């Protein structure tokens, strides 16, 4: 496990890249750009294109952050991988439902369920 | 909700990150003092962040030196926000619906939609460089 980043904490668990978002507020352009750059570096080095994003600590999310997630999801799908969100609380969950991004981005309750979706594990 | 004196303030700020955050923090403090609750605080913060971001990104084409006018009025029974930029404005009906199936994977264009979803009443004042947002719990 490493934690060389300012906005994320990364671990690799059995074919999954688990990324914990450390910011409570993912709202302003600078923070979002920096998170995106850190994710770019993680994915450049990652052997797996299957990423789980942990939202446990996130309390606010802006439309720009949603854009970053859509871009990340598309890039992972281009690599035959995928993105799954875990521990998305309310009212962040409402943001995903209002924007209908719950149809594009998988959101589940825990890592086991995320692994099942991304890797097809039982 | 507690019965506190209404709070109102108007700012003329540069459209940079520090100035925007200063306003957002002051509004958040006023919301806390008004004891309107977490749901209102979330909605108002999201709306103000999105409106300021739209002012800088679209109204001022990213030019952070241009001036944004912000007004906030908070009472124990309502919140009113206004954000105006120096741009030429836009026609809100021309913004594609980000919830349409064909637009779901487009990375931008959800700010106004979120503001409308979380605030009670939203009006883009012609020519489209001023947005007025009300939240009535």
Q: Is the pLDDT of residue B13 over 90?
A: yes
User: Does the distance separating the beta carbons of A103 and B106 come in below 8 Å?
Assistant: no
Residue B117, chain A, CB below 8 Å: the answer is yes
Count of structural domains within chain B:
1
Measure in Å the smallest separation between the Cα of B13 and chain A Cα atoms. 16
Q: Is the pLDDT of residue B2 over 60?
A: no
**Residue A121: per-residue pLDDT:** 64
Spell B70-85 as b/e; 16+ CB within 10 A means b: bebbbbeebbbbbbbb
Residue B110, chain A, CB below 8 Å: the answer is yes
DSSP secondary structure code for residue B101 in this structure: G
Residue B22 lies in a domain: yes
**Residue A63: per-residue pLDDT:** 95
Phi, psi of B27 (to 5 degrees): -65, -40
Residue B2 lies in a domain: no
- Which range of residues forms the domain containing residue B64? 7-135
User: Which of A32 and B4 is assigned the larger pLDDT?
Assistant: A32
**Residue B137: per-residue pLDDT:** 83
Tell me the per-residue pLDDT of B90-122, one tens digit each, with 9 for 90 and over.
999 999 999 999 999 999 999 999 999 999 999
Q: Is the pLDDT of residue B3 over 80?
A: no
Q: Mean pLDDT, 10 residues at a time, over chain A (122 residues)?
A: 82 92 92 94 89 96 95 94 96 95 95 93 56
* Structural domains present in chain A: 8-53+63-119 (3.30.750.24)
Measure in Å the smallest separation between the Cα of B76 and chain A Cα atoms. 22
Kindly report the CATH number assigned to the domain that includes residue B24: 3.30.565.10
Q: Is the pLDDT of residue B131 over 90?
A: yes
CA torsion angle A116 A15 A24 A69 (round to 10): -80
Residue B1 lies in a domain: no
ipTM over the 0.95 cut-off? no
Residue B26 lies in a domain: yes
User: Which of A3 and B73 is assigned the larger pLDDT?
Assistant: B73
CA torsion angle B23 B29 B35 B37 (round to 10): 70
Measure in Å the smallest separation between the Cα of B126 and chain A Cα atoms. 24
pLDDT, averaged across chain B: 94
Residue B29 lies in a domain: yes
For the segment B58-80, the average pLDDT, to the nearest whole number, is 95
Contacts of B20 in chain A (CB under 8 A): 28
**Residue A67: per-residue pLDDT:** 96
């Amino acid at each position: 496990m490493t934690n060389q980043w300012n906005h994320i904490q990364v671990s690799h668990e059995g074919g999954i890249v688990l990324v914990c978002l450390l910011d409570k507020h993912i709202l302003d352009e600078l923070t979002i750009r920096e998170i995106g750059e850190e994710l770019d570096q993680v994915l450049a080095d990652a052997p797996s294109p299957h990423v789980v994003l942990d939202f446990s600590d996130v309390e606010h999310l802006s439309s720009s952050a949603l854009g970053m997630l859509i871009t990340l999801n598309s890039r992972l799908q281009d690599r035959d991988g995928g993105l799954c969100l875990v521990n998305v609380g309310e009212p962040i969950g409402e943001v995903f439902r209002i924007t209908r991004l719950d149809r594009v981005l998988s959101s589940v309750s825990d890592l086991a369920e995320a692994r099942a979706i991304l890797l097809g594990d039982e | 909700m507690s019965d506190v004196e209404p709070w109102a303030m108007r700012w003329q700020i540069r459209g940079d990150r520090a100035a925007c955050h200063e306003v957002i923090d002051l509004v958040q403090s006023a919301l806390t003092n008004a004891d309107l609750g977490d749901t209102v605080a979330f909605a108002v913060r999201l709306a103000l962040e999105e409106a300021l971001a739209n002012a800088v990104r679209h109204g001022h084409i990213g030019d952070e030196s241009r001036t944004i006018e912000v007004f906030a009025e908070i009472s124990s029974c309502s919140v009113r926000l206004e954000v105006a930029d120096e741009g030429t404005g836009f026609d809100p009906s021309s913004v594609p619906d980000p919830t349409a199936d064909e637009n779901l994977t487009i990375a931008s264009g959800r700010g106004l939609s979120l503001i409308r979803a979380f605030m009670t009443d939203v009006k883009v004042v012609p020519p489209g460089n001023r947005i007025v947002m009300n939240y009535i719990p």
